[in-house]
C-alpha cells in the first residue's frame, strides 16, 4: 500500500499516532517504507526536528556535533545528542534510517570515544603542548573550544577510573597523557592557567609585580597573585595548609615576589645607592627625582617612630644598610 493510499484512509492526527506507535515498536498499519516516506516529507515529531535544527546551528558555530551534556549552555542539546547515540547503539526503532541520514549529513559521530577518534584528539593536544609547553588553549576558535572540552572529559573519566567506575581511559591512554604532563586535577589545571598568564605578564613587563590597575587580560591576575602570597604566608606561619613545594618552586623560578612591600623597598634602596654613587651623597632634591625624594622623607618619618618605640617600616637591618651608604637621618 502506497503512502498516498494510506493517508487517504487516515487523518493526519491518526498518522501521527500511528507513527508514534511504530517508533515504540507497537503494531500499526504503517510499514517501514511508509515511515521513511513520511519522514522524507518532514512528517516527523516536531521536537526531534527542533533539536536536530539546534544541533545544526551548534555545528555551524563550533565546527562539530560533540555537544557535552555537562555544558551549562548546551545541557539540553548535549543530553539529546547522547540519547541519539544510545538509540543508535541499541538499534531502537526510534532511530529510523531517515534520522540516521539527517544526523550523518551533519558528520555526526555515533561513537565519540572510539579508539581512532581518541588518538586523533590526543595528537591535537600533544601538538599544542609541544608548541606551547602548556594546556592553556585559547577558546576564541571552535577547534580550541572543542579541545578544551575534550581535555575536561579526560579529567572526568580519570576521576571515574580512580573511583573504580566505568571509564574509557585505558592504561595506554593514561600513560600517553602522562607523557605530555597532562594535568589531571581540574583545580591544578586552573592554577597552571593562571601561572602561565603570570609568565606572559613577566615576558611583557620584565617582572611579576602585577598591580590592581594592570590593564587588559591582566586585570583579574592581581587577585590571584595576592592569593598566592596569602596562602604562602598562612602556610609558613602554621595558620593554614602549606603551599605545595612544586608551586613555590615554579613561582620562585619565575621571579615571583612573595613580599611586595619588601621588594618595593629594595628597589627604592637600589635607586638611592645609584644616586649616591653618582653624586657622592644621599641628599636627593625634589626637583631632581621627586619619587625618590618622597621615599627619603618617609624614611626619616619612619626613623622617628622606630626611635620612639612605635610601629615602623624600619628595622635594624634596614637602618644599617642606609647608614652604610652615608644616609643622614636629619636634613
User: Helix count (H) and strand count (E) of the chain?
Assistant: 15, 0
**pLDDT at site 135:** 81
CA distances from 123 to 58, 81, 129 (A): 24, 25, 10
| Closest by CA position to 170, among listed 98, 215, 119, 228 | 119
Q: Could you tell me which residues come within 8 angstroms of residue 295 by beta carbon, excluding any fewer than 6 positions away?
A: 268, 272
CB 298 within 8 A of CB 287: no
From the CB of residue 63, how many other CB atoms can be counted at a distance below 10 Å?
A: 14
- The lowest-confidence range among 67-76, 199-208, 234-243 is 67-76
**pLDDT at site 8:** 45
**pLDDT at site 326:** 95
Rounded Cα distance, 16 and 245, in Å: 66
Rounded Cα distance, 165 and 161, in Å: 6
The residue ranges of DSSP E strands in the chain, in sequence order, are none
Cell digits of residue 306: 622606630
**Residues 280-293: tens digit of each pLDDT:** 999 999 999 999 99
CB 74 within 8 A of CB 67: yes
Rounded Cα distance, 230 and 72, in Å: 32
Q: Residue 40: pLDDT band by 50, 70, 90 thresholds?
A: low
Q: Looking up cell 618619618, which residue turns up?
A: 301
Q: What is the DSSP letter of 311?
A: -
Rounded Cα distance, 208 and 214, in Å: 11
Judged against a pLDDT cut of 70, whether residue 240 lies above it is answered with: yes
Specify which of 11-20, 121-130, 214-223, 315-324 reaches the highest per-range mean pLDDT: 315-324
Longest dimension (CA), the chain: 111
Cell digits of residue 94: 526510534
Q: What is the DSSP letter of 135?
A: -
**pLDDT at site 166:** 78
The angle subtended at Cα 269 by Cα 265 and Cα 275, nearest 5°, is 150
Rounded Cα distance, 82 and 87, in Å: 9
**Residues 192-233: tens digit of each pLDDT:** 888 988 988 888 888 888 877 776 778 788 889 989 999 998
**pLDDT at site 212:** 75
CB 195 within 8 A of CB 188: no
Q: Residue 249: pLDDT band by 50, 70, 90 thresholds?
A: very high
| Closest by CA position to 242, among listed 251, 234, 230 | 234
- 3-class state of residue 232 by DSSP: helix
Mean pLDDT of the chain: 83
Q: What sign does the dihedral 210-134-154-51 (CA atoms) show?
A: positive
CA distances from 125 to 69, 128, 181, 280 (A): 22, 5, 11, 59
DSSP string, 107-163: T--S-TT-HHHHHHHHHHHHHHHHHHSS-----SSHHHHHHHHHHHHHHHHHHHHHT
Amino acid at each position: 500500500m502506497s503512502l498516498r493510499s494510506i493517508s487517504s484512509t487516515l487523518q493526519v492526527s491518526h498518522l501521527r499516532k500511528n507513527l508514534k506507535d511504530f517508533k515504540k515498536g507497537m503494531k500499526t498499519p504503517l510499514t517501514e517504507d511508509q515511515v521513511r516516506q513520511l519522514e522524507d516529507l518532514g512528517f516527523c515529531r516536531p521536537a526531534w526536528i527542533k533539536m536536530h535544527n539546534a544541533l545544526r546551528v551548534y555545528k555551524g558555530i563550533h565546527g562539530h556535533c560533540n555537544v557535552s551534556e555537562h555544558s551549562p549552555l548546551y545541557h539540553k542539546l548535549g543530553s539529546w545528542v547522547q540519547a541519539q547515540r544510545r538509540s543508535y547503539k541499541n538499534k531502537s526503532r526510534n532511530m529510523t534510517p531517515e534520522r540516521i541520514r539527517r544526523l550523518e549529513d551533519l558528520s555526526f559521530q555515533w561513537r565519540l570515544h572510539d579508539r581512532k577518534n581518541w588518538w586523533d584528539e590526543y595528537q591535537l593536544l600533544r601538538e599544542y603542548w609541544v608548541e606551547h609547553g602548556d594546556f592553556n588553549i585559547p577558546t576564541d576558535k571552535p577547534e580550541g573550544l572543542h579541545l578544551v572540552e575534550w581535555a575536561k572529559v579526560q579529567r572526568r573519566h580519570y576521576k571515574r577510573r580512580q573511583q573504580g567506575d566505568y571509564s574509557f581511559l585505558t592504561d595506554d591512554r593514561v600513560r600517553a597523557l602522562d607523557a605530555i604532563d597532562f594535568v589531571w586535577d581540574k583545580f591544578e589545571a586552573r592554577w597552571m592557567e593562571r601561572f602561565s598568564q603570570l609568565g606572559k605578564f613577566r615576558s611583557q613587563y620584565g617582572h611579576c609585580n602585577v598591580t590592581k590597575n594592570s590593564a587588559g587580560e591582566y586585570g583579574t591576575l592581581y587577585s590571584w597573585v595576592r592569593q598566592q602570597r596569602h596562602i604562602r604566608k598562612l602556610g609558613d606561619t602554621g595558620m593554614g595548609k602549606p603551599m605545595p613545594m612544586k608551586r613555590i618552586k615554579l613561582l620562585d623560578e619565575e621571579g615571583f615576589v612573595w613580599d611586595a612591600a619588601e621588594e618595593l623597598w629594595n628597589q627604592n634602596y637600589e635607586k638611592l645607592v645609584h644616586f649616591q654613587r653618582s653624586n657622592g651623597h644621599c641628599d636627593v632634591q625634589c626637583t631632581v627625582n621627586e619619587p625618590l625624594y618622597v621615599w627619603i622623607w618617609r624614611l626619616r618619618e619612619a626613623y622617628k617612630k622606630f626611635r620612639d618605640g612605635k610601629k615602623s617600616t624600619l628595622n635594624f637591618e634596614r637602618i644599617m644598610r642606609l647608614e652604610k651608604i652615608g644616609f643622614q637621618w636629619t636634613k
